[in-house]
Amino acid sequence: MPRSAVVIDREYLKHQPGDLHPERPERLKALLDLTAELDSGSFKLLPPRAATREEVELCHSKDYIELVESTSQVNRYALDGDTITSRDSFGTGLLAAGGFLNLLDAIAAAELRNGFALVRPPGHHALKDRAMGFCLFNTVAIGAQHLRRQHGAKRVLIMDWDVHHGNGTQDAFYRDPSVLYVSTHQYPYYPGTGAIEEAGVREGEGYTMNVPLPAGCGDEEYLRVFGDVVIPVAEKFEPEWILVSAGFDPHRRDPLGSMDVTEKGFGAMAALLIALAEKQSGGRIAFLLEGGYDLTALKNSVFAVLHEMKEKSAIDLPGKSGGEAIEPLIRKILKFQERYW
């Protein structure tokens, strides 16, 4: 059987938003150290490539791409209050998107079983014509569009477990029934979107599912949501591909979130999605790094996901007594989703 793959490269260190910026190159340095420990019999290191303009234009306007490119002429440019570029940021953003597309192409060709793109900058806040929340280009959205255009995918599930709602990804597919976007996120919190009632419009109505969680949720609450809400709806959607916006800022150590998830919890969520992919998607699943700003938590959590890609552990979901604090929220979400699923 084909191996799993990891996309990572020292070139991703070149995006320099500032020494005190949370999305700093040290995030990837920690993961470069991790890849040295991987079993070469189970994991292949897949080199990235730069995305083409045409590929980025699947989700972004030409004017916006040209704006980001123009920042290559200055040492520092603020696209918004949080999203800062350096001279190499545009090229690094293209390499992030292209690295993910390389992974998807290899999985589509059955050269690999699955994979994890450890790239930066993150992408799920980036809108069609606007940078936002540390994000330049929306890599996961570009990936989903690529699967549709190049590989004929008709049903793509994007699961986003970052602590922040992926407003850019939601916006990209809000009218699109071919992509089911599911997000678990701390709410209310940045960027302020992601309420239960945000479910898509027109043909896309019902193909956005938001799970806005209160601060303090940990492994039991997340696994309860996955068991009662995420996996049942995803099974009804019958995805041909699963893409995961894997942000590790819900970790209990993360400085930007207020959640209580551990590396064990991330591994369990990954295992459930991998099992879903094996059941319905021919094993086709690709993880993509989004947030995660405590270096120890990030490294340990990524390792937990990689372990599940290799071992495929059985997961015991919490019973009705587990995660009981969010029982009213789960009932509310299920009641709302009855009209669609």
Cα–Cα distance measured from residue 128 to residue 107, given in angstroms and rounded to the nearest whole number: 27
158: tokens are 């994007």
125, 165, 185, 251: the active-site residue: 125
Name 48's Cβ contacts closer than 8 Å, sequence gap at least 6.
Answer: 7, 9, 11, 95, 96, 98, 99, 102, 119
Which sign, positive or negative, has the C-alpha torsion 47, 48, 52, 54?
A: positive
164 noted as active-site residue: no
Q: How far apart are CA 221 and CA 203, in angstroms?
A: 31
- The Cα 78–Cα 218 span in angstroms is 34
Positive or negative torsion for Cα 149, 98, 57, 24: positive
Phi-psi region of 216 (alpha: psi -120 to 50; beta: other; left: phi over 0): left
Taking the C-alpha atoms of residue 178 and residue 319, their distance in angstroms, rounded to an integer, is 32
How far is residue 276 from each of residues 238, 242, 281, 299, 316, measured CA to CA in Å? 9, 9, 7, 25, 15
Question: How far is CA 292 from each of CA 39, 76, 227, 301, rounded to the nearest angstrom?
Answer: 24, 23, 24, 9
Closest CA to 240 of 179, 172, 306: 179
Amino acid in the structure at residue 187: Y
**Positions marked active-site:** 125
